[in-house]
Amino acid sequence: MARKKALGRGLEAIFSDSSQLEEKKQDKACDGLVDISVDELHPSPLQPRKSFDNASLKSLAASIKECGVIQPILVRHSDGKYEIVAGERRWRAAKIAGLKTVPVKVVAADDLSVMEISLVENLQREDLSPIEAALGVQELINKFSLTQEQAAKKLGWSRVAVTNKLRLLNLPQQVLEYLGGGKITEGHARALLSLKKEEDCLRLARLAAEKGLSVRELEDAVRRTLASGTSRKKSIRVMEVPESAKRFAERFGIKVKLKGRQDKLQVTLDGLSPQVALKLFDLLEAKGEELFPEE
């Protein structure tokens, strides 16, 4: 008669009698592994991941219910309990699966080590949101005084991947909220990075979120925005200062600049004292009708 499959007992379900179970426990002890009640474990406040996808947790819980927790959870002693160093997602899924105990490995680790292990594990193995990943990389670099190259080696990423993640944090807060909320993708966000003006960035991010633009469509919109800005800049040129103005400037030790086009010319006089500036305005007022005759 086929034996009914035991669920929710982890790898212990494989062993059918007490002698085999005892051998398994001894092997685990030699490896530094022990079974701990799930209620004795608690998350680390240094954990960079702040949210866990419910669907993903349920999927992992189903796997754990069938096969057990294959990879032990890394913990350290903290306030009479065990603080999770790495494996919080497995612990949460084990609780959903109804397990009473989980295999753990107890390590001695200070706060910095815990943070480094947690950051590296999450950034390597978990589907963090782009913002969580960017903040995690930034925290890893800042806490451990790493270069981008060193952070990339720890994560098994390319330096370019690290740089691209960090650049996301330069976007306006509202754009980051769109990205964190899934209204735009990381591809959309990277397309917006080339925009210099915050209002352009916000406008196009809002357009992409509301209209459901593809990354390619947003890239085209960004190029058009950049091109129109370049055209406007080219239309404003610096005019040549007349010789009379140059002589005037040299004589009185000031700088004269003329900039603009058509009827929007700007005159800049640099180096005037407050007293001279006031006298200049008096002269302009006196000669106003000559300078600005009524049509």
> Which of 93, 91, 153 has its CA nearest to residue 120?
153
pLDDT tens track, the chain, 295 positions: 443 333 333 333 333 333 343 444 444 444 568 888 888 888 877 666 666 778 878 888 898 888 888 889 888 887 777 888 888 888 888 989 999 899 998 888 777 777 777 777 777 655 678 888 888 889 888 888 889 999 888 888 899 999 999 999 999 999 999 998 889 999 999 999 999 899 999 999 999 999 999 999 999 999 999 988 754 555 545 567 778 877 877 777 788 887 776 667 788 888 888 888 888 888 888 877 777 776 5
Checking DSSP bridges between strand 266-270 and strand 33-37, what pairing results, if any? unpaired
- Chain-centroid distance, C-alpha 42: 26
- Is 268 in a helix, a strand, or coil? strand
In the chain, % helix, strand, coil (3-state, to 5) comes to 60, 15, 30
Report the candidate in 145, 151, 149 with the shortest Cα–Cα distance to residue 119. Answer: 151
pLDDT of residue 136: 82
| Positions marked active-site | 88
* E-strand stretches of the chain: 33-37, 41-42, 73-78, 81-86, 101-106, 237-239, 255-260, 266-270
**Residue 1 pLDDT:** 43
Token digits of residue 42 = 């608690």
| Rounded distance between C-alpha atoms, residue 218 and residue 215, angstroms | 5
Number of H helices, E strands in the chain: 14, 8
Q: What is the pLDDT of residue 179?
A: 92
| Radius of gyration from C-alpha coordinates of the chain | 33
Confidence (pTM): 0.53
Domains of the chain (ranges; CATH) run 10-110 (3.90.1530.30), 176-234 (no CATH), 238-286 (no CATH)
**269: left (phi > 0), else alpha (psi -120 to 50), else beta?**
beta
The end-to-end CA distance of the chain, in Å, is 110
Specify the pLDDT at position 294.
65
Q: How far is CA 201 from the centre of its chain?
A: 17
Contact indicator for 57, 96 with CB cutoff of 8 Å: yes
Q: What single string gives the DSSP state of each residue in 85-150?
A: EE-HHHHHHHHHHT-SEEEEEE----HHHHHHHHHHHHHHHS---HHHHHHHHHHHHHHHT--HHH
pLDDT in the model for residue 237: 57
Q: 60, 74, 166: which is closest to 121 by C-alpha?
A: 74
